[in-house]
Amino acid sequence: MGKTLFIDFSLLCEEIGKTAKRKEKIKILSDFLLKLDKEEIGPVLTFLLGKISAEKKLGIREGGIIRIIEKISGKRFSDFLAKTGDFGEAVKEIFYEINRDKIKPALTIKEVYEEFVRISEIKGDFSKEEKEKILTDILERANPLEAKYIVKSIIGEMRHGVKEGLLIESLSFILNIDKKEIERSFLISGDIKKVLFEGLTRGKDGIRDIEFKIFNPLFPMLAETANSIEEAISLHKGKVAIEYKLDGIRAQIHKEGEKVIIFSRNLENITDSFPEIVKEIKKIKVESIVVEGEIIGVDREGKPLPFQYLMRRAGRKRDITFSGIPVKIFLFDILFLNGKLLIDLPYCERRRLLEEIGREIQVVEKFEPERLEDAENYFEKAISLGHEGIMVKNISSPYIPGTRGKNWLKIKKINTLDLVIIGAEWGYGRRKNYLSDLYLGIMDDEKRKIMCVGKTFKGLSDEELKNLTGRLLSLKISQKGRTIFVKPEIVVEVIFDEIQKSPVYDSGFALRFARIKGIREDKGKQDINTISDLKNLYKKQSLLKGKYEEIQGSLL
Ligand code: AMP
């Protein structure tokens, strides 16, 4: 039992990475998954998704891996990284150089996984040395390709294009059921490993038996950007409700009895950061409930403060910590009540239930416009009250977890893009000790590649840049002159004056007068805007400028 070799897993990753055809990827993946023993399913999925570090909190980072590889090989890692441009590929090349291709692959997937578990369990004063010793021992037994995928799975950069979506399609292929059914089980359980495990071991019934469980967060439903209020309203033939778009932190709150857990939009537990919200929620007198709302910072008069005031930018990744300013929660949805999942009810029904239970707690205001003009006035009111804009919601839409769709449309006063930092240059003068010029990346539509859309040194204070410098250095992948390239992890919200076409960056576009509005600790690279979003904004901007013909030719 559990005899699948790690080299077979490595070959699988190579093979999937080589083909761009989705159908082929699904076929290769399905064949592999079907051959696994029960106890191998979990470990394979963890490795495949590059999640071993996140799941097991290994405590080994890129620096440690480089140290180990250099010690084993006597070679300078940066030379190979510069040559190959990929961390795992560099390890493979080094292992060839030191003749590790002579090693007969014998490591099993289960064995490698168990060694990682062992690493994660080491605590105490000399833990770093002990952890690195175990990893060294594993790598000493690995051939070049195995070594490549051992390190890739630790740093979480698999680059073969296997995400949850592909796994769902593969399972739908294996079980011959509609992928929507599997998707739903995934979205309500939030656990792809559980879905695959149940599906592969128990078939269709396993999938259908997966139910929502309180304190297991649902993926949040998200909104698309509408070009205008008119567009948003006419899309749903006027059957819409408008709410303020509050600029804060999305919270999904689960309560059963006296137990309350608050989840961020990344499904991280942020309960400890908001004790006053926990107290508020406890006022709701029901047996069990899941609600969603926005936590916002307010000033002394109770006026909303922009998002960035809410974040204390501690050096750590995605550390959402209460910053000391007063906060309030405004609820806008209800997903579960007294044992019943409500996501299939239409918005207007959920809203009615929310208002019923919401007597004890604040619910975001709702407005149903009769005429376009009313909606436009409401938008102006939202802005004058200090909100970001409005959300236009289709009143008959269900809550579809994890999807960004047209049932919720957002309209903001200022257009911003969420982008990820992919590199940075050392500053000059007063900022010479900081990485201050930031390269901004946008996602391609297949969510596989990040492309550059320009750089900026504007918007952040010296203090913020100082903190950011430390974080960027810890994410460094490579360096060229004054520029370092980093793992794309830090998301920033960027304001700009205009989008221009540009041959300088690989996205083909550049942002004119870009400046950082804030660091979005609550977002990850999967949440950033895509090149289609950018093209839509460009189209809208050009339309406004009366350049319709020009872009028709080049974009449509
Ligand atoms: P964005 O982060 O720009 O994609 O906008 C979507 C986010 O707006 C959601 O994830 C919520 O955090 C936030 N939001 C603010 N007000 C509302 C509202 N009334 N309904 C839904 N989401 C809202």
Q: pLDDT per residue over 298-341, tens digit each?
A: 887 878 877 766 664 333 334 455 556 788 999 999 999 999 99
Task: Indicate whether 555 belongs to any domain.
Answer: no
Residue nearest to atom 22 of ligand 1 (CA): 245
Task: Indicate whether 451 belongs to any domain.
Answer: yes
Q: Name the pLDDT band for 555 (thresholds 50, 70, 90).
A: very low
For residue 342, what are the CA distances in angstroms to 207, 220, 226? 20, 14, 27
pLDDT over 90 for what percent of the chain?
Answer: 65
Do 133 and 50 share a structural domain? yes
The pocket around ligand 1, CB under 6 angstroms, is made up of: 220, 222-223, 243, 245-246, 250, 265, 294, 332, 364, 391, 410
Which of residues 176 and 268 earns the better pLDDT score? Answer: 176
Do 471 and 400 share a structural domain? no
CA of 243 to the centre of ligand 1 (A): 10
Domains: count for the chain: 4
Runs of H (alpha helix) within 403-495: 462-474
pLDDT, residue 243, reads: 98
Do 335 and 319 share a structural domain? yes
Which of residues 438 and 124 earns the better pLDDT score? Answer: 438
Computed over every residue of the chain, the mean pLDDT equals 90
Residue closest to 189 by CA, chosen among 152, 218, 166, 160: 218
- pTM, to two decimals: 0.72
Mutate to test the pocket of ligand 1, among 332, 333, 407 (most ligand atoms within 8 A of CB): 332
CA of 468 to the centre of ligand 1 (A): 26
Do 230 and 203 share a structural domain? no
Angle between helices 87-97 and 77-84 (to 10 degrees): 120
At residue 166, what are phi and psi to the nearest 5 degrees? -70, -35
Q: For residue 519, what is the domain's CATH number? A: 2.40.50.140
pLDDT, residue 545, reads: 52
One-letter amino acid at 229 equals: I
CA of 250 to the centre of ligand 1 (A): 7
CA of 223 to the centre of ligand 1 (A): 7
pLDDT, residue 318, reads: 46
Residue 250 Cα: closest atom of ligand 1: 12
Residue nearest to atom 16 of ligand 1 (CA): 245
* Annotated active-site residue in 25, 92, 131, 245: 245
Residue 548 scores a pLDDT above 50: no
Q: What is the pLDDT of residues 379-417, one digit of tens each?
A: 999 988 888 899 999 999 999 998 889 999 999 887 789
Residue 9 scores a pLDDT above 80: yes
Known catalytic residue at 245: yes
Helix (H, G, I), strand (E, B) or coil at 188: helix
Helix (H, G, I), strand (E, B) or coil at 8: helix
Residue 416 Cα: closest atom of ligand 1: 3
pLDDT, residue 550, reads: 43
Q: Determine the average pLDDT of the residues in 18-33.
A: 95
Residue 262 scores a pLDDT above 50: yes
Q: Determine the average pLDDT of the residues in 91-110.
A: 97
Query: In which domain, by residue range, is 295 found?
Result: 222-412
Residue 26 scores a pLDDT above 90: yes
Is residue 297 within 8 A of residue 248, CB to CB? The reply is: yes
For residue 490, what are the CA distances in angstroms to 176, 273, 295, 313, 330? 39, 21, 21, 12, 27
The gap between the terminal CA atoms of the chain, to the nearest Å, is 54
Do 195 and 114 share a structural domain? no
Alpha carbons 447 and 110: distance in angstroms, whole number? 30
CA dihedral 85→91→96→100, nearest 10 degrees, is: -170
Do 516 and 428 share a structural domain? yes
